[in-house]
Chains A and B, each alone.
Chain A
Amino acid sequence: MSALLQERATAQPTPAIATEPRRRPSRRTVLLLTAAAIWILGFLVLNGTSTLALPASELTDLHRSLNQFNAWVAANRADNPVFLYIFTPLRSAVDAVANLFTTTFAATTTGLRLPEIGWLGTVALLTWIALAVGNIRVALLTAAVFVFFGIQGLFVEATYTFALVLTSVLLTLLVGIPLGVLAGIYGRVARVITPVLDFMQTLPTFVYLAPLALVFLIGPASAVIATVIYAAPPVIRLTAHGIRRIPDNTREASDSLGTTGLQRLLTLQLPMARRTIVMGINQGTMAALSMVTIAALIAAPGLGQTVVRALQSLDVGTAVNAGLSIVLLAIVLDRVTTAASRRAEPGFARKRSASPKTRFIFLAVALAGVLVMVQLSRTMLWAAAFPQDLNVGPAIVQAVNAASHWLQSNLSLFTVSLREGVTNGILNPFQSLLTDTPFYILVIVIALVAYALGGWKLAALTTACLGVIIYLGLWSDSMVTLAGTLVATAVVMVLGIVFGVAMGRSSRVDQLMRPLLDAGQTMPSFVYLVPFLGLFGATRFTAIVAGIIYAAPVAIKITADGIGGISPTVVESAVASGSTPWQVITKVQLPMARQSLALAANQGLIYVLAMVVVGALVGAGGLGYDVVAGFVQSSIFGKGLAAGLAIVFLGIMLDRMTQAAAAAPARRIPSPIT
């Protein structure tokens, strides 16, 4: 993530906003205050007029034409040439690859539904692969985790998920590495591709599903295609970055030897960019896991289905059990690909204790053992299906359910009053401030804020985004989503500042927190819904809490890095001149880390937005609900598709505004002594 962030952060245009002489409020402050005044006046005077509210059952003409498009696709799928020669063959090809891996590792559709390689063979083979690309530690981790899946009673589900991730990652690399190489070599390709990638990364996972299911129907094939689209951007970006980073003089040295373009690529650029490319594979894999779980909604088999079913039946125990599997799978995939990227580091070979030859022999012997186990798992029932007597899944489920019931009955006074208090006290008033103010007032207000942050260009961009949202007919729902997103982001920023400052000031706190945050960031968004559904039931509040927890790690890390990056001499001089710790924090550290804070807000917003949408599964309203409902009710399909687009434009708007805030020049830092 950090490499990406830096790339994004430095790529910002720096708008020039002239600062007025001291003692007078800056022009920006005046603009922001004006905007606030217009908003409040508009809300008080024109309350409830021109709110563009569209009742949930009603459609606009645009939605109806999208509905017709849906019907048209269904009717013409069999004989339209685009489908006949492009989409249907593509679907069959992807389906064949996905089928190959799922039947190998998870289950066949015949006989006892045993996979081609039973559990023993799968564990042995995967452990060996982890050993070959990584090291002995990640190999042991892999073996332990996959055996634990069996103990949880989820071996088949976990291997389904694993097989789909594997399929998706392989196809992603097939698409992503060539594109990344092109973007790395030719600046023009990079300029075309970058905005597309930005756009793809702002899209919440959820939004991909309906359009893809429309074109590719439901099933593992569309799940894999959705995943490839979602996981490709980091792979493309990091491949391009790795190739671009090679120093010019190295390239020139190779050129002077008379190498051709292809030789240069194979002997110099790819090998030198290898570590960055493997980092891209790591990020792509994590993205793939997160998408594959959500693709359960379009009939992708695996752990995601278990979680969805559990969410639907409020079965917290089952959801936690399956969620734990997803988390463990995420950890294994992360560690193995990270170990692989370390191994790809130049100079790694010299640090190794064993010589390459010994290692090669060791791996070959181990492989022979693996093949024996694979063969066993194909012929012996005990090695094919994970033994049922070792299955403690039901016990885990029951224990968690008991704990959850205890919490619900004993903490309900606390959880319910917290939920009602926050909803009535903060969320509802703020939401009505957005939904009950006339739309034109809000457009003016947001454009003014955008102008203050980033000049005319940004103001034009945000107005255009808002215009599209109005055209899509979903203004009111967008404001509901915006309200939830902003409330959650505000809390995320508070957490980011509190923990980020603590981490930035003390390396001990940093060491303690960082692994937790890293783990938090590798988890698919889905998993976060589970515990809060158990505590708070299905409401907007639940989605917001899940969004806060999902987005907090990234905000905390960026803030901590910003605080930690301040020159120690500045802090020491402040301390030496008698400032209290509180003064140091508020007058020196926070103002100096202002850009990091804005960047944290940017990433926090994008993460929260993604979660608030997924949160529609547990009762969040607004655009997320439209997407979910459009997905499951064909009569409002068009509205769901429009809502997906509205989320995209809302995301772009928020992203650009916070990026502009991050790029704006810092104000003069006041003297630490008052």
Chain B
Amino acid sequence: MRKAERLIKRTMPAVAGAAAAALLLAGCGGASVNQTAAAAGATGTPCGSVNVAMNAWVGYTADAAVYSYVAKNKLGCTVVQKDLNEQVSWQGFASGEVDVIIENWGHADLTKQYITDQKVAVDAGSTGNEGHIGWYVPPWMAEKYPDITDGQNLNKYASMFTTSESGGKGQVLDGDPAFVTNDEALVKNLNLDYKVVFAGSEAALIQSFRTAEQNKTPLLGYFYEPQWFLSEVPLKKVNLPKWTEGCDANPEKVACDYPTYKLNKIISKKLDDSGSPAAKLAKGFTWTNEDQNSVATDIQGGMTPEAAAKKWVDAHQSVVDGWLS
């Protein structure tokens, strides 16, 4: 019994402490500096809190930064940003983890699953940006080998693109495995003597293209616009068989180029129904590729996303007012 007593004695202080802390919390529940300050900050219709999914490319960061900045500073919302992969973010609509995806690239299957079938998300309209995905080469290659931009000639140049990672074939450098990609299927279905290798991220892709242009080394890779980097190094697109409606319906059998994506915003049904000004802002938000690139370039140049967003919003007051009216 002595030991049990000692055990109780030892744990007593901890239990007492926890109990006291809990009492204290309960006692001062309403008086926290958190809530008082919030009440002072908010103006107009209460906005509450909004969860913004953060996907991993700088263009997305630019959109999300401007959206968050306006929601926070003009509408008094509490913005919670969550770093999530593209498709994983959609799951967040079902679990309540995500309210806003601010730049969505297609995803017909997820649209069907979450908007049509489960009805947990809502299409909030176009961002005003047009997205292109494709295979690109650095400009020096397009100059030296003019016919390389025709996808039919790729096999002729395959040996130039071999690396230690590509197993004797030519290398197609992809970005993050989470990005929208048909490249594995394209290589197979177009009978290309290539192997897809993942660089792992947008940053790694950009670094590879930059080095390839500087050192005049061969590189073939996945890339996309709107994209700030294209104004630094104007990569040249390789033309694959033209996209036609439905040619990419079966992901295993794709043998055509990527479609043109009308980038749009997706918000949760929950946010849409709440009547929060954050939902209105999400629906109103539209801008041009140049706008996105200017914010993205600032972020890439070392500004914090918030500062870059402030700079753009201050310079485009009327556009922002248009979103909110």
A interface residues, Cβ below 8 angstroms from B: 55-59, 71, 74-75, 77-78, 104, 108-118, 125, 128-129, 132-133, 213, 217-219, 266-267, 271, 274, 296-299, 301, 305, 308-309, 311-315, 343, 349, 356, 360, 363-364, 367, 370-371, 374-375, 378-381, 384, 419-420, 423-424, 428, 432, 537-540, 617-619, 621, 625, 628-629, 631-635
Contact = CB atoms under 8 A, between A and B. Distances in A.
B140 interface: no
Contacts of A266: 4
Given A111-B39, A299-B88, 14 more contacts: A57-B187, A104-B25, A118-B33, A125-B17, A129-B17, A217-B95, A274-B7, A371-B24, A423-B164, A432-B167, A539-B165, A540-B165, A629-B177, A631-B88
Interface in B24-75: 24-25, 28, 31-35, 37-39, 41, 48-49, 54, 56
Contacts of A78: 118
B7 A271 contact: yes
A163 to B, nearest CB: 14
A378 B28 contact: yes
A219 B91 CA distance: 10
Contacts of A374: 21, 24
Given A71-B113, A112-B37, A625-B177, A375 B91 contact: no
Interface in B105-161: 109-110, 113, 117-118
A356 B164 contact: no
Contact of A538 (B9, B110, B117, B201): B201
Nearest to B86: A632
Contacts of A632: 85-88, 176-178
B95 A219 contact: yes
Interface of B: 1, 3-4, 6-7, 9-10, 13-14, 16-17, 20-21, 24-25, 28, 31-35, 37-39, 41, 48-49, 54, 56, 78, 80, 82-88, 91-92, 94-97, 109-110, 113, 117-118, 164-165, 167, 176-178, 182, 184-185, 187-188, 196-204, 207, 251-252
A490 to B, nearest CB: 19
A539 B20 CA distance: 53
B164 A314 contact: no
B92 to A, nearest CB: 6
Interface of B is mostly: helix
Indicate the member of B32, B38, B39, B110 with the most A CB atoms within 10 Å: B32
B56 A218 contact: no
B49 A312 contact: no
Nearest to B175: A312
B9 A132 contact: no
Contacts of A110: 34-35, 38, 48-49, 78
A313 B88 contact: no
Contacts of B48: 110
Contacts of A629: 177
A380 B33 contact: yes
A337 B203 CA distance: 40
Given A371-B21, A538-B199, A111 B91 contact: no
B207 A314 contact: yes
B13 A218 contact: no
B13 A132 contact: yes
A634 B251 contact: no
A57 B88 contact: no
A377 to B, nearest CB: 9
A633 B91 CA distance: 12
24 contacts: A57-B185, A59-B252, A77-B94, A111-B39, A112-B34, A132-B14, A133-B14, A213-B88, A218-B91, A219-B92, A267-B3, A271-B4, A274-B7, A299-B82, A312-B200, A312-B201, A364-B13, A374-B24, A379-B28, A379-B31, A537-B204, A539-B165, A621-B165, A632-B86
A634 B110 contact: yes
Interface of A is mostly: helix
A56 B184 contact: yes
B111 to A, nearest CB: 12
B33 A114 contact: yes
A633 B202 contact: no
Contact of A312 (B82, B88, B94, B176): B176
Nearest to B6: A349
Given A371-B21, A538-B200, A384 B92 contact: no
Contacts of A55: 184, 187-188
**Which has the most chain A C-beta neighbours within 10 Å: B86, B204, B207?**
B204
A379 B32 contact: yes
Nearest to B304: A394
A607 B16 CA distance: 41
A625 B109 CA distance: 22
Contacts of A384: 33-34
Given A57-B252, A625-B198, A371 B164 contact: no
Contacts of A314: 201, 203-204, 207
A109 B52 CA distance: 12
A367 to B, nearest CB: 5
Contacts of B85: 297, 631-632
A218 B35 contact: no
A380 B199 CA distance: 47
A493 to B, nearest CB: 24
Contacts of B56: 309, 312-313
A635 B251 contact: yes
Contact of B164 (A115, A424, A432): A424
Contacts of B10: 343
Contacts of A370: 17
Nearest to B36: A111
Contacts of A379: 28, 31-33
Nearest to A268: B3
A381 B37 contact: yes
A301 B82 contact: yes
A128 B17 CA distance: 9
Contacts of B83: 296, 305, 308-309
Contacts of B94: 74, 77, 217
A57 B16 CA distance: 59
B35 A111 contact: yes
B33 A313 contact: no
A271 B21 contact: no
Given A129-B17, A299-B92, A116 B109 contact: no
A375 B24 contact: yes
B321 to A, nearest CB: 26
A286 B196 CA distance: 37
A109 B199 contact: no
The 5 closest A-B pairs by CB, nearest first: A111-B38, A57-B184, A632-B178, A217-B95, A114-B34
Nearest to B189: A57
A428 B169 CA distance: 13
B126 to A, nearest CB: 23
Nearest to A619: B200
B17 A313 contact: no
Contacts of B1: 267
A109 B78 contact: yes
